[in-house]
Structure 1
């Protein structure tokens, strides 16, 4: 079991781990060892996640989720399979924890009367300065 928080845990049977060759530098070792991990998690078919969390997770995942609702995480930061496996699982649990947070509802606000007055006073002041400049230019000629 992978524990996300006290309420949500994911059965390891819901996660599929494939070990693949990592890209990038590494010499001959990179061609011989499959140290990168590709984690697949069926978000749409998971019974571990509540509906609201599932919907937010799909939005958070973005391009990492397929049309079938499968989340794919590729971990190749480390040189060993074990560390990459743990990294992929940590990234999955981090995404789910982020999806657990309910977004704050935005409440529309109006500017106060005093802030409107300050804004208009500032505009009036700037306008007067520009008018003074104009009249000074015409007297020079």
Structure 2
């Protein structure tokens, strides 16, 4: 994954932010909409694209475009920086391939200890019973 090439492929759109803020909100476009076309990306390998499609399937549009919004601050430039950082962390965390789990057997000693503790509890419970008068 080449971050410089990915940053070139990003497209930004500035819109008016929602919420409280008085007149500032009504007249400035500080909300940033970051979009990344996963299908047409040249900086990602095919296996990386497939991995991202499977992991980010709920966050992608039908055209495999990843959209991220940021309207945290009043500054458009700061929102853009925050959106880029957030986007790169999402990419890095979702490109990690999980290790395959290897099946293991419990050791002989662990099995033996388990059986011994089972016997001890069964003896303890049998001693709690009332004695039979047979």
Report the TM-score, using the length of structure 2 for normalisation: 0.84
Shift of the alpha carbon at 1:11?
A: 5.2
Going from structure 1 to structure 2, the CA distance change for 1:11 and 1:79 (only over 3 Å counts) comes to closer
| Stretches of structure 1 lacking an aligned partner (at least 5 in a row) | none
Alignment of 1:55-70 (within 5 A): 55-70=50-65
Out of 50, 54, 59, the residue aligned to residue 49 of structure 2 is 54
Shift of the alpha carbon at 1:19?
A: 1.0
2:104 is the counterpart of 1:109:
yes
| Count of matched residue positions in the alignment of Structure 1 and Structure 2 | 132
Alignment of 1:1-141 (within 5 A): 4=3, 9-10=5-6, 12=8, 14-135=9-130
Distance 2:80 2:11 in 1: 11
Distance 1:32 1:114 in 2: 73
Shift of the alpha carbon at 1:82?
A: 0.2
| Superposed CA offset, 1:7-27 (max 9, x none) | x73252x22211122233322
Regions of 4+ moved over 3 Å: none
Name the SS for the 2:56 alignment partner: helix
| Stretches of structure 2 lacking an aligned partner (at least 5 in a row) | none
Distance 1:60 1:98 in 2: 10
